[in-house]
Amino acid sequence: MIKKIIAQSYLWLLLLMLYAPILIIAIFSFTEAKVLGNWTGFSTNLYTSLFSGGVRHSLIAAIENTFTIALLAATVSTALGSIAAIGIFNMRGRKRQTITFLNNIPMLNPDIITGISLFLLFVSLGITQGYTTVVLAHIAFCTPYVVLSVMPRLRQMNPNIYEAALDLGATPFQALRKVIIPEIRPGMISGFILSFTLSIDDFAVTIFTIGNEGLETLSTYIYADARKGGLTPELRPLSTIIFATVLLLLLIINIRAKRNSKKLINKQTE
């Protein structure tokens, strides 16, 4: 009995420590105090001023940049990653193992290393850093994740269905469009959502590729803001909203994954 209580409380303590920072921010986003930690009564004023333009124009621009970059990077890396996954899937034996291994390295590589190396690459190629380089950098680190989420769908697929489509008169491209893509679509959607959240979240790679033309994303904006001393109070509701959005996206991914595996189990037990 006591053992059980200890085990339970350990778990809750761990979860509490994990979520305490974000919970505190979320709680204090509903008060007006300038300094974090002072509670001056419940208010949604910070949320209103966040959206009514009470904050500096640059924050709004940063939010816009963050989301357009995420959308672009996620779209392109989903396309690239899916094509790459199909290519890798059709390789045989050692070659496939090697490429899969090479695909995994960038995911394990520390972001800071990815950031610095991309920075050096752009500099040595003489590319002016700015919006384009950030998008390119984000595509570079998102693509492996798309490959990773599309691969299992390909493995589950009956390998004969591509041939069946060809056999019924489809050109290779038609077979890809009408048979392969519908089969791997759930993996592509998961990959897209994952890329989108990774891109919004990223700081290390972004800071090295954003240049000094005054372009800001949310993460770099917050960093700069914090270094100036004291966080803009509106960042509290903003963080809360972003956290809620990411949480929602993750929930969608997990529910989709669960539903897919259930479907698969049903299929197998039939």
Does the footprint of another protein cover residue 86 (CB under 8 A)? no
Does the footprint of another protein cover residue 213 (CB under 8 A)? no
Phi-psi region of 263 (alpha: psi -120 to 50; beta: other; left: phi over 0): alpha
Q: Between helices 218-227 and 235-269, what is the axis angle to 10°?
A: 140
Does the footprint of another protein cover residue 171 (CB under 8 A)? yes
Q: Which of 37, 110, 182, 214 binds another protein (CB under 8 A)?
A: 182
**Nearest approach, Cβ of residue 151 and another protein (Å):** 18
Does the footprint of another protein cover residue 158 (CB under 8 A)? yes
**Nearest approach, Cβ of residue 146 and another protein (Å):** 20
Does the footprint of another protein cover residue 94 (CB under 8 A)? no
Q: Which of 41, 169, 214, 229 binds another protein (CB under 8 A)?
A: 169
Q: Is the dihedral of CA 210, 212, 215, 218 positive or negative?
A: positive
**Nearest approach, Cβ of residue 265 and another protein (Å):** 12
Contacts of 145 (CB under 8 A, 6+ apart): 77, 81, 107, 191, 194, 195, 198
Q: Which is nearer to another protein, 23 or 164 (CB)?
A: 164
Does the footprint of another protein cover residue 174 (CB under 8 A)? yes
Q: Is 80 exposed, middle or buried (0-12, 13-18, 19+ CB in 10 A)?
A: middle
Does the footprint of another protein cover residue 9 (CB under 8 A)? no
Find tokens 């059980």 and name the residue.
4
Does the footprint of another protein cover residue 229 (CB under 8 A)? no
Find tokens 């809360």 and name the residue.
240
Q: Which is nearer to another protein, 140 or 165 (CB)?
A: 165
Report the alpha-carbon distance of residue 221 to residue 64 in Å, rounded. 12
- Specify whether the CB–CB gap between 175 and 109 falls below 8 A: no
C-beta atoms surrounding 112 within 10 Å? 13
Q: Which is nearer to another protein, 179 or 235 (CB)?
A: 179
Q: Which is nearer to another protein, 144 or 186 (CB)?
A: 186
Contact letters (x/-) for another protein, 183-202, by CB under 8 A? x-------------------
Q: What does the angle CA 200 – CA 194 – CA 215 come to, to the nearest 5 degrees? A: 20
Interface residues with another protein (CB under 8 A)? 158, 160-161, 163-172, 174-175, 178-179, 182-183, 263, 266-267, 270
